[in-house]
A and B are shown apart, each in its own frame.
Chain A
Amino acid sequence: MSHHDHHQSFWTRYIFSQDHKVIAIQYTVTALFIGLVGLVLSWLMRLQLGFPGEFRFLNPGSYYQILTQHGMIMIVYLLTAILLGGFGNYLIPLMIGARDMAFPFLNMLSYWVYLLSVIVLVAAFFVPGGPTGAGWTLYPPLSALPNAAPGSGWGIKLMLVSLVIFIASATMGGLNYVTTVLQCRTKGMTLMRMPLSVWGIFIGAAMALLAFPALFVGGVMLLLDNLLGTSFFIPAVTLFGQQLPREGGNPLLFQHLFWYFGHPEVYVVILPAMGIASELIATHSRKPIFGYKAMVIAMAAIAVIGFLVWAHHMFVSGMNPYFGFFFAVSTLIIAIPSAVKVYNWLLTLWRGKIQFNTPMLFGIGWISTFIIGGLTGLPLGNVIADVPLHDTYFVVGHFHLVMGVAALMAIFGGIYHWFPKVTGRMFNETLGKLHFWVTFVGAYMIFFPMFLLGILGVPRRYFDFEALQYLPTQTAGLNIVITIAALIVGAAQVVFLVNLIWSAVRGRRAESNPWHATTLEWQTPTTPPPHGNWGAETPTVYRWAYDYSVPGAERDFIPQNVPATPTVPAGTARTV
């Protein structure tokens, strides 16, 4: 190797690049862009809910379209893409001491196919009828019939096509991430010496590979129902007084296929976020991560059990009570490995030399939102409590905190943490802290009142609540508070973007290891690392990833590529 970087044109170096770091940046920028679209959509929904009827361009139809697109964009095209495509691409090769991914060409293809899926997604906003309004879960028969929901024509078809394209991209990426971790680790980098970020992305990517096929099959069958008149999912239906020539289809079948993908998808997002949060918390509290082995086992356990809980999304769809019992139990069991992880993060912080910088604030914000979001999941895992709460704002508050805000805390923290390595410059700390505090406090102001609204019985997915006489009038006031908080939190993201762009161009030059971190990506010979990452030789690893504050060591961190000496035993007692 070492032939790269010479004789490369602008196009092969920055556009059609096979360098995992360039692809990571492409993924991140695209995902943040589409995330901004999702953010604006959430503003529109909040405007209607806070000030019903004030904004004339919003009507029930467009509200459903906005709701559907917001959900799909945030979960699939932002979170999944940025965590696997962005962080996965940047971190895996650098953290395991490889020069690039196992299949660089496939990696490049993965990004361009992802971009195509985003273009098809966005195109749906400009076709007759607009994007689909069938809900992000795309349940048939609503999504399969003509004129049943807004965007039943072009919109739903483009949505399904875009998803199928996205799955192709995620599969190409996933094959790369998993193979690279298994095959391309440098000398001495055993699996149990890998940083937890790599573990999280590795397990998350493996889950994505096994979960997305169910959505692929469900999506193709739904497309055939919608386009070519099959009845996989469509039962006997009377539409506008006319009996349709279909019968016998099974809408529940789609729900099973969808959630067989949909629930593991939650962990596809959360496991990488857990890994990134572990890195933030250990590095900035200058402590070895507490219970490394337990952390790895907990993630593996979450992944395995995560494939056995999907029907807890369908308690109100009706099922055999024994199945309900099984899925409730498996769901609640996931609380155990999750709690193990929370204890370990807290014990890592315990008596640490906590640096309250921007990445660490987001790391602590992750713990907080993950706990609140996770705990509110417990009542929802119980069939008996889920049935009354399921169609209320309680669920909206729960999944936004645990999957949306918590994941974003890890993503923001991770972006700040690795920004000096990616750009070679420091971000503005004041703006970073401003971004954190507004986002953190604001997110609680948005989602915490939703638990209250849910308990009061405010139904989710409703355009307005005028006809619901049983709701106390205070709910309208709470909705105004939430809307104002949402507008402010959204605006705070502009601070984040300005900070990123300004600092990437004008920021103070960063040292190669500004956080005094132990993992390999901070030990590259140059910053930002060139194509190929390392000099003549890839690094050799002698110790685990968390040798912080080792007793007797000169400094409070020992990088993974520093050999053991008699005075500084490798990995101390925690060698694994």
Chain B
Amino acid sequence: MIANHGSNGYREFITPGRVGLWLFLAVATMIFAALISAYVVRMGSSDWHSLPKPGLLWVNTAILLVSSAALEWARMSERRGNARSARVSFIAGAVLSALFLFGQIWAWFVLHKLGYFLDTNPSSSFFYLVTAVHGLHLLGGLIVAAATVRSSERFQLFVTYWHFLTVVWLVLFTLIVLT
């Protein structure tokens, strides 16, 4: 790759990678904003029926929050130079993330068993859609992380991305629980 730093007096913190990530977060925000606004509009129709909420979703949400916390711990340990703590908490965060994805798929099975399929009602259509889009963002993050996490900067960016997806999930989860 061709080195490309020319600029006048940018602090080291603002790297192309960081700028690229924040731009991507803006793109992802637009995707979820479009989904949420479509959800809210479609909710207004008379055929909308509230969906049963598997208790599992609460567990999944807790797991995702802990995984975000573990990754933040890893990031802080890495900054402090504590490599062992960083590695342990990173692995914990990654395992919890995988567990969250697994839990989400399980929630799909639970709903499926209750007779709520993709095309049963707009509420179930949206549930499968938003959880799938969110899950794919997580999965993509994990795959990119697996390939690039050895670089310290990339690792920092990965953790930022993860927090973003945790916040997005909290918003989506609130919407799902309330409707």
Contacts and interface: CB of A to CB of B under 8 A. Distances in A.
Interface stretch (B16-24, B75-83, B101-109, B170-178): B16-24
A25 B122 CA distance: 45
A186 interface: yes
Interface string B1-25: 1111111101000111001100110
B41 A253 contact: yes
Given A101-B4, A102-B4, 20 more contacts: A98-B4, A100-B2, A102-B19, A103-B16, A171-B24, A174-B27, A178-B19, A184-B5, A185-B7, A186-B6, A213-B34, A214-B34, A220-B133, A231-B122, A232-B122, A248-B47, A249-B45, A250-B41, A257-B38, A538-B6
A187 B129 contact: no
B38 A217 contact: yes
B50 interface: no
B30 interface: yes
A228 B118 contact: yes
A250 B118 CA distance: 17
Contact of B26 (A190, A210, A253): A210
Interface in B108-137: 118-119, 122, 125, 129, 133
Contacts of B14: 183
B31 interface: yes
A104 B38 contact: no
A135 interface: no
A253 B20 contact: no
B58 interface: no
10 contacts: A1-B2, A174-B23, A174-B27, A183-B5, A228-B119, A231-B119, A232-B42, A250-B41, A257-B38, A538-B6
B46 interface: yes
A111 interface: no
Interface string A176-200: 1011101111111110000000000
Interface of B: 1-8, 10, 14-16, 19-20, 23-24, 26-28, 30-31, 33-35, 38, 41-42, 45-48, 118-119, 122, 125, 129, 133
A184 B4 contact: yes
A221 B47 contact: no
Contact of A171 (B27, B34, B47, B122): B27
**Nearest 7 interchain pairs by C-beta:** A248-B47, A213-B30, A229-B119, A248-B45, A217-B34, A102-B16, A230-B125
A31 to B, nearest CB: 22
Nearest to B9: A187
Contact of A532 (B2, B8, B16, B125): B2
Contacts of B8: 187-188, 190
A353 interface: no
Contact of B6 (A184, A214, A217, A218): A184
B7 to A, nearest CB: 6
Contacts, number: 132
Nearest to A181: B19
A85 B15 CA distance: 23
Nearest to A105: B1
Contacts of B129: 220-221, 224
A404 to B, nearest CB: 27
A318 to B, nearest CB: 15
A216 interface: yes
Contacts of A421: none
B118 A217 contact: no
A125 to B, nearest CB: 30
Contacts of A221: 38, 129
Given A175-B24, A183-B19, A248-B48, A257 B34 contact: yes
Contacts of B10: 183
Given A1-B2, A217-B38, A257-B38, A103 B27 contact: no
Given A214-B34, A248-B47, A99 B4 contact: yes
A103 B26 CA distance: 18
A104 B10 CA distance: 21
Contacts of A103: 16, 20
B1 A104 contact: yes
Interface in A526-556: 532, 538
A104 B3 CA distance: 10
A224 B118 contact: yes
A538 B19 CA distance: 22
A231 B4 contact: no
Contact of B34 (A176, A189, A218, A232): A218
A288 interface: no
Nearest to B6: A186
Given A218-B34, A247-B47, A248-B47, A100 B122 contact: no
A538 B4 CA distance: 10
A248 B31 contact: no
A445 B34 CA distance: 41
Interface in A389-431: none
A183 B118 contact: no
B125 A231 contact: yes
Contacts of A190: 8
A260 interface: yes
| Residue of B7, B35, B42, B48 most packed against chain A (CB within 10 A) | B7
B46 A248 contact: yes
A230 B118 contact: yes
Contacts of A508: none
Contacts of B118: 224, 228-230
A67 to B, nearest CB: 27
A224 B125 contact: yes
